[in-house]
Amino acid sequence: MSSKVRLYLDQPLAGGQTLALDAEAANYLFAVMRLRPGAQVVVFNGRDGEWLTEVSAAGRRDGALAVRAQVRPQTTVPDLWLLFAPLKKARTDFVVEKAVELGVGRILPVVTDFTNAERMNRDRLQAHAREASEQCGALGVPQVAPLRPLFAVLSEWDAGRPLWFCDEALAGQGPAPAGDRPAGSCAGAVLVGPEGGFSAAERARLRALPFARPIALGPRILRAETAAVAALVLWQATCGDWR
């Protein structure tokens, strides 16, 4: 892994360009990371691949990067979404960070019957997703959607996107998720409930949805964030880009 600073910039990227930096980017590169003119920075925007740039101007509130050469072309990522009920702050941050590393394209926080956190700072989570993308070498940043009630999201669901929901009521039973997994699908989503799981009413409604299928995650009770990671890993290994 490169030790160069990696930066997400929402600007078109192409060779020969000069990229203007806003105050936030300038503060990060020049005050926090202490880069000076001539230093190399790797940038990506989620559309044009990854580019090597060089600091051409470094100010307190602005600066510029000269685009040198493309390092990696943009690649397509699996069309995988994560729906999860917000947890305590550190565990929510963890879920977002791991979702980015595991190639989730869209993060949808949802309110369920047993969700404890009714509020969520979406801007903070979006910034956390961006930092995780910069760190893990991803070529895009997943969008964090506004917090909405679970069944409001599911009422508008595209039935072509299978939804795996982690059903703790299956703990201790077979079958393993393998038997339940659709083969060869290219769009998908994983739904993880809060620490207390889903209510009986929610579970009944979920089971009645044609695009939803319960998955089992072994005989032990997993914490919500562990279930999220486990389900995403299994999805990537069977339907995604870990195959």
Question: For binding to its own copies (CB under 8 A), which residues are involved?
Answer: 1, 75, 94, 97-98, 101-103, 135-138, 168, 174, 176-178, 196-197, 216-223, 226, 229-230, 233-234, 236-237, 240-243
- Number of helices and strands in the chain (H, E): 6, 12
The Cβ of residue 47 has, within 10 Å, a number of other Cβ atoms equal to 11
Q: How far is the CB of 166 from its own copies (least distance, A)?
A: 12
| Structural contact between residues 105 and 232, judged by C-beta atoms closer than 8 angstroms | no
Nearest distance from C-beta of residue 147 to its own copies, angstroms: 25
Nearer to its own copies, 63 or 78 (CB): 78
Nearest distance in Å: CB 196, its own copies: 8
Residue among 63 and 177 whose Cβ is closer to its own copies: 177
- φ, ψ of residue 200 to 5 degrees: the values are -60, -40
Q: Which is nearer to its own copies, 26 or 50 (CB)?
A: 50
Q: How far is the CB of 95 from its own copies (least distance, A)?
A: 12
Report the residue number, 94 or 157, with the smaller CB distance to its own copies: 94
Find the shortest distance in angstroms from Cβ 100 to its own copies: 8
Q: Which is nearer to its own copies, 182 or 242 (CB)?
A: 242
Backbone φ/ψ region at 134: left (φ over 0), alpha (ψ -120 to 50), beta: alpha
Kindly provide the b/e burial profile for residues 118-153, where b requires at least 16 CB atoms within 10 angstroms of the residue's own CB. eebeeeebbebbbbbbbeeebbbbbebbebeebeeb
